[in-house]
Structure 1
């Protein structure tokens, strides 16, 4: 029912007379009580508000109980207006209108509504009191009811690979543990230890968790893939009293190790994630914990749906005040080729030290494989490893020399040793004596003459070396769509440091991804920008100041063909298919001459780099892995 506002005008004489009367004869304004109510509703504490028909303690307790399920959600209550009712019966009343805004989720859409409160004048107390009802806080809310938010989950997006193959999708799992309700208390500990032994986890901590859990608790020990590779059988589980194997699904890659460091994992949100989520993540939610799953959590997870409902004491929904449909997550499209990734992983899985194999498609920069070994290496060595690239870097120094006036046929001096600022450098042990003396630049690359490229770097100067690296894809800010490192080549080195940089030692660094990009740029005939994510598109990568030209790439490719034809990687020349170009490299990293082994190569529309942290030499350790990869990848 609408109420007419008490608004009327007085003649001037009456106003003068009214002004001469004592102030105590004027009734109090309802605005003070109405304003106090707004603050009290915000705090869910009516102890300071004058109330009519109930006491403050009872009203506060009732309201607190009704809103308790919503207490973690931010809200604001503001007074919009307050007006005395002209036609109200005795006692005099006023109507206050309030706006309430709840920050329900991370979107810009809030739950907003207005409520009204009736205030009545207590002439004896000379104040206005509020006629309390739960509906002054939430529309339609009555005594004995409560308000709560019910969420509905969204389907998580998949991670897709090249050719639209699903890399990470929901796959069946078993949540295995002890169901304490199904076994006698005297068997809790023994069953827990037996299960732990079967699952090869530490028995004591798990048994302690089982015993400490509630009497009806299901205490999960482990979640296992439920596929043909599961080694724990149903019969073994059934033989232990109280064991429950609960079927479920989780977003999983094809195998436990498939691109593990890149794709990341999904699991239950930690307390820290929940606390930092600003209400978007609740305890028990499945979220991305690492890798792409974490970086693209919002895209993959989508948005939960919700409804704000009024419930009775039996938890029945009486009415829905607001709702929002869930929005499913979107797929994340990567460039990884499932077969190539599995092949790459198989080739570095048994390495005795950290290793990596990266394959890039030269025509578009797609990262087709990025494998880190050995199998128990959880680090993303392939895309984030920072190592001296050894003699594979001579390809970059060769470009700087071409830009400094040399050609592949330029005659260059290759002495057995060279001294730079008092430091002696020499060629690698076993360097062929027939390739010493005056040789062509192409032969210096084929045989990997250190002294030629020491002098070449010194003559070209540090800025030119950095510029050549950028032209081949290094020393740029990566824009792959994932955590990446390509390379670091300073433009201010001099003396022995600059000379050492020229042969891939000194202080230059690269990753396997970076050196695969070098090979890809040469094979492509222009600077390649590698990328792992196709959708959403990564930000555009910065372009080098002096990109690789087609003529420069042709010269570099011809010299790298010599490496395979009769140089340090001649074991690759019989690989079926198009011509193979390549370069091997070894980088000593300590005084005991322990060394990193490298090899890069390209064939057709495929470029590859292999890194092994501890190897006997690039050609000997990394070269065969490159050969096996190119053979199997192109023949498959």
Structure 2
């Protein structure tokens, strides 16, 4: 009997697995691929309990994937140890969670088995504990004007969420919330399962109107809680420059791909959209273990600080914006007013009525008419034309085969170029095409930033001037018929005459670029361009005459002298005829361009006058 008893283990040893490598491989491959049954078979634990424990790891971490790499295996008699590296993708643009662990093995009836315990999953995990992922994000930061005043008001958002430990039926809750909002059930459930049990887990955020619409149905979902949060999301003027903010929807969540999570807000346009990442930051993440009985945290296994969210500081001025709103809002026709600081190119305000502040004021492409003569006059002066030269202003003139018409006559004696300039005489200005060549006109446009390669965080347009080789083509450029500009580019042109230097526009001073994580450095703006001092004094005198004796007298106001010109131009836009009237000029260090959709040039001049009268004293 003794010999038989001894013979049995001896026989088993003869047929024992020669190496633990297969056991290690089958366990790790089964765990990684989701074949938890196969992985559990290679342990000495209860197969169902082990398989469930391995499956729970991915659920508790809300992991996109778990991958392993074997570092080495050592064997000593009937025991072995496998060193392996773990790479957990936590999703939501979180960094990978990396750690190393040991896999203890021993021979059981001639077969290598993993010596099962929770520490096989992670060296600090113990019986009666589980993983959780604690994700945190800061509230949205405001967009500020140049003086640090917020350019949006606080509004109430309603955050629907749960405390996992209090839920009786989380699957039903997720199903009901899906029916109401469209957020995927599996994503809602995974956020609940992976969260610390005593923490409030935000699932869906609603604005005031949407919450009011769904309130009764939300109240009927057992276990769902609503938290109110105040966030700077209601934009002040200029609304389309600042941009609106909304709650993340099921559709936008799929597009984002992180780092946003349910409960965050989303910029829907303007600077709120351009600087979404800076204003919201990124989610901070901790991987923790907690005790299943007490629900208390046991250990913090890993931490990733979210990217700090910051406010966005602009060049806008709330006081100047109020003046722009009053001027544009008081108009009875579609209108735009762009104001810039002449000495720097800073955008101070964008006022509008029935036209878009970004699409039209910053990025619009409009013919300026004879308002462009402030740029063309620089070329004419360079070509030797004298502002005091007599230039008749007939009602009709043909230049190089192109016909030009002046609708309003200039009274008095034979007008000078300055008088023609002040009244925007199309026929007189067109007649000077023979006195200047195409290259000179092109250089002048360049000195005023027309066509410059500037960059703003929002869409914008610096303008374009066609190559004009014939007298007819040059006449159309001088009178602004074939030129295309935005109100912003014309405000900057006026600012150049006011300050003596053309400056590229600036809208945001901090941060330096919309994407702080970009590997490519932002494009440097064009350098300022100093205008010729001799021509400058003549240009200023001509611009002043537009307000004192010309067609822009309605812009005159008390205080520092106002300079400016007006124009009216008719053109075809997408098969529709449009007539625009402009005022372009400045007072003190504030330069503006006013665009109105009306054939009456006194309208933009009156708007300019109202704007200058309403300016804060320090502007």
TM-score range, shorter chain: 0.7 to 0.9
Residue 166 (structure 1) aligns with: 150
Per the TM alignment, residue 76 of structure 1 is displaced from its structure 2 partner at its CA by: 3.4
Alpha carbons of 1:398 and 1:219: their partners in 2 closer, same or farther (altered >3 Å)? Answer: farther
Per the TM alignment, residue 527 of structure 1 is displaced from its structure 2 partner at its CA by: 1.3
Q: CA RMSD in A?
A: 3.5
Per the TM alignment, residue 608 of structure 1 is displaced from its structure 2 partner at its CA by: 1.2
2:409 aligned to 418, 424, 431, which one?
A: 431
2:326 aligned to 339, 346, 356, which one?
A: 346
Per the TM alignment, residue 104 of structure 1 is displaced from its structure 2 partner at its CA by: 4.9
Residue 528 (structure 1) aligns with: 503
2:388 aligned to 388, 409, 414, which one?
A: 409
Residue deviations 1:103-123, cap 9 Å, x none? 557889643211111233467
Matched residue SS, 2:151: strand
1:77 and 2:68 are equivalent in the alignment: yes
- For structure 1, the residue ranges without an aligned partner over 5 or more in a row are 1-23, 178-198, 221-243
Separation in 2, partners of 1:69, 1:371? 52
Residue 426 (structure 2) aligns with: 450
1:96 aligned to 82, 98, 113, which one?
A: 82
Residue 242 (structure 2) aligns with: 263
Per the TM alignment, residue 272 of structure 1 is displaced from its structure 2 partner at its CA by: 4.5
2:350 aligned to 352, 364, 370, which one?
A: 370
Alpha carbons of 1:168 and 1:214: their partners in 2 closer, same or farther (altered >3 Å)? Answer: closer
Per the TM alignment, residue 530 of structure 1 is displaced from its structure 2 partner at its CA by: 1.8
Residue 251 (structure 1) aligns with: 232
2:373 aligned to 391, 394, 418, which one?
A: 394
Alpha carbons of 1:108 and 1:318: their partners in 2 closer, same or farther (altered >3 Å)? Answer: closer
1:564 and 2:547 are equivalent in the alignment: yes
153-162 or 98-107, larger mean C-alpha shift: 98-107
Alpha carbons of 1:41 and 1:466: their partners in 2 closer, same or farther (altered >3 Å)? Answer: farther
Per the TM alignment, residue 32 of structure 1 is displaced from its structure 2 partner at its CA by: 3.8
Contact 1:470 1:547 in 2 (8 A): no
Alpha carbons of 1:212 and 1:496: their partners in 2 closer, same or farther (altered >3 Å)? Answer: farther
Query: How many residues were matched structurally?
Result: 546
Matched residue SS, 2:615: helix
Q: How does 1:87-486 map to 2 (within 5 A)?
A: 88=77, 92-104=78-90, 110-121=96-107, 124=110, 128-142=112-126, 145-168=129-152, 171=154, 173=156, 209=214, 213=218, 215-216=220-221, 248-252=229-233, 257-313=236-292, 315-325=295-305, 328-374=308-354, 380-420=359-399, 422-427=401-406, 429-432=407-410, 434=412, 439-457=415-433, 460-486=436-462
Per the TM alignment, residue 467 of structure 1 is displaced from its structure 2 partner at its CA by: 2.7
Matched residue SS, 2:466: coil
Alpha carbons of 1:299 and 1:29: their partners in 2 closer, same or farther (altered >3 Å)? Answer: same
Alpha carbons of 1:411 and 1:153: their partners in 2 closer, same or farther (altered >3 Å)? Answer: same
Per the TM alignment, residue 352 of structure 1 is displaced from its structure 2 partner at its CA by: 4.4
**TM-score in terms of structure 2 length:** 0.78
Alpha carbons of 1:608 and 1:364: their partners in 2 closer, same or farther (altered >3 Å)? Answer: same
Contact 1:66 1:145 in 2 (8 A): no
Alpha carbons of 1:262 and 1:493: their partners in 2 closer, same or farther (altered >3 Å)? Answer: farther
Contact 1:33 1:128 in 2 (8 A): yes
Residue 555 (structure 1) aligns with: 538
Alpha carbons of 1:435 and 1:108: their partners in 2 closer, same or farther (altered >3 Å)? Answer: farther
Per the TM alignment, residue 605 of structure 1 is displaced from its structure 2 partner at its CA by: 1.0
Residue deviations 1:364-410, cap 9 Å, x none? 11111112224x95755322222222221111111121222323234
Residue 488 (structure 1) aligns with: 464
Contact 1:51 1:131 in 2 (8 A): no
Alpha carbons of 1:268 and 1:299: their partners in 2 closer, same or farther (altered >3 Å)? Answer: same
Separation in 2, partners of 1:39, 1:496? 79
Residue deviations 1:262-285, cap 9 Å, x none? 111232223344334443111221
Contact 2:336 2:353 in 1 (8 A): yes
Contact 1:82 1:97 in 2 (8 A): yes
Residue 228 (structure 1) aligns with: none
Separation in 2, partners of 1:373, 1:166? 23
Residue 194 (structure 1) aligns with: none
Residue deviations 1:227-272, cap 9 Å, x none? xxxxxxxxxxxxxxxxx9x75312145xx55211111123222334
Residue 475 (structure 2) aligns with: 499
Separation in 2, partners of 1:157, 1:537? 16
Residue 558 (structure 2) aligns with: 576
Contact 2:248 2:266 in 1 (8 A): yes
Per the TM alignment, residue 497 of structure 1 is displaced from its structure 2 partner at its CA by: 4.8
Alpha carbons of 1:359 and 1:74: their partners in 2 closer, same or farther (altered >3 Å)? Answer: farther
Separation in 1, partners of 2:222, 2:542? 69
1:595 aligned to 576, 579, 584, which one?
A: 579
Residue deviations 1:46-98, cap 9 Å, x none? 334441324655433322123303234455322222221x2x4xxx2221112
Matched residue SS, 1:513: helix
Alpha carbons of 1:378 and 1:531: their partners in 2 closer, same or farther (altered >3 Å)? Answer: closer
